[in-house]
Amino acid sequence: MGLAVNAAVPSRYRRAGRRAFLRVARIVNAGSRVECPCCGHRYRQFARFYGRRDQCPGCGGLMRHRALSLVLRDRVAIESSGGDVLHFAPSSGVDEWLRSLPNVRYLTADLDPDVADMPADITQLPFGNESFDLIVCLHVLEHVPDDRAAMRELIRVLRPGRIAVVQVPPSELLETFEDSSATTPRDRARLFGQHDHVRICGADYGRRLEEAGFLVEELDYVEHVDPGRRARYGLRIGEPFYLCTKPAAEDGA
C-alpha cells in the first residue's frame, strides 16, 4: 500500500517534503565527520534514506551521486574539459555543482517537466545527432520499458569519442530479469523491488549497452578510493558505473 500511495503523490509534493526533511537533518546532523563532495558541506553523519545513512543533509545527494561527482572529476575531467552536458533525472547535488562550472553548458531532461529543464522521453529525444559531449544517466534505464530504444537514442545524441555515464541498481543476478506482464505498481514492486521498476538488471547489462554500439567499461570507482576518503564521503563498493564511449569515426562509427 505504501508504494502505491507514494506512486500517486505528485512529484512537487514529494520534493517539498524532502526539502523540509533536509532542513531538519542539517540541524540534527551538525558536525564535521563526513563530507559531501557534491556540495562541499560537512556533517556529523549523513541523513537516513530508506533506513541507510546515505543522504547529504545539504544538497540531498545520495551515495551514488557522491561517487558520480568523483568519476566526473577524476575520470571524465569535466571541470577542465567542459562542453555540452545532458543529465537525465537530475539530482540536486550534482545538478547544482555542474551548473556552477563556467565551461559547462548543462541541460537536464526528464519525463516530469517539474524536475528538469526540458520534458523528454529518453526513447525519443528532441535533440539532433551528436549534440552532447557528456551524458549522465543514473538509475533511469530500469524504469524504461524499451531500454534498448533509450540506449540507441543516447548513442545517437552523443558526439563521437565522448562518454555517457550510466548506472543501474546493482543486483546479484547474472542475467537481467524482466516480465512484461507486470504492469501495475503492486506487481512491479513484487517482482522488481520497486513500484516503478520494469526489470532487475543483472551482470549482463553492459552487453546491452555494447549492442547499442557503445564501447563499455564497467567501473566500480569506489574500489579505487582510499579507505579514509571513502569513509569521509560515505561511499560503498559494489555499485559500479558503465562508462559508455561512442566510437570515434575512425573506429567505424
pLDDT digits (tens, 9 = 90+) for 112-144: 888 899 999 999 999 999 999 999 999 999 999
pLDDT at position 8 is 59
CA–CA distance, 13 with 84 (Å, rounded to integer) = 31
Q: Express each pLDDT in 172-183 by its tens digit.
A: 999 999 999 999
Rg over CA atoms, the chain: 18
Q: Express each pLDDT in 77-91 by its tens digit.
A: 999 999 999 999 998
Question: Quick check: 5 pLDDT over 50?
Answer: no
pLDDT at position 11 is 66
Question: Quick check: 6 pLDDT over 80?
Answer: no
pTM, to two decimals: 0.91
Residue 179: all three cell numbers together: 516480465
Judging by DSSP bridges, how do beta strands 83-88 and 132-138 pair with one another?
parallel
Across the chain, mean pLDDT equals: 92
CA–CA distance, 162 with 244 (Å, rounded to integer) = 8
Confidence of residue 247 (pLDDT cuts 50, 70, 90): very high
CA–CA distance, 57 with 31 (Å, rounded to integer) = 11
Question: Quick check: 252 pLDDT over 80?
Answer: no
- If you average pLDDT over residues 50-62, what whole number do you get? 91
> Distances in Å between the alpha carbon of 199 and those of 184, 205, 243?
13, 11, 21
- 165: nearest Cα among 196, 193, 140, 197: 140
Question: Quick check: 30 pLDDT over 50?
Answer: yes
Per the model's pLDDT, the better-predicted residue between 73 and 9 turns out to be 73
Residues 6+ apart with CB under 8 A from 224: none
Confidence of residue 10 (pLDDT cuts 50, 70, 90): low
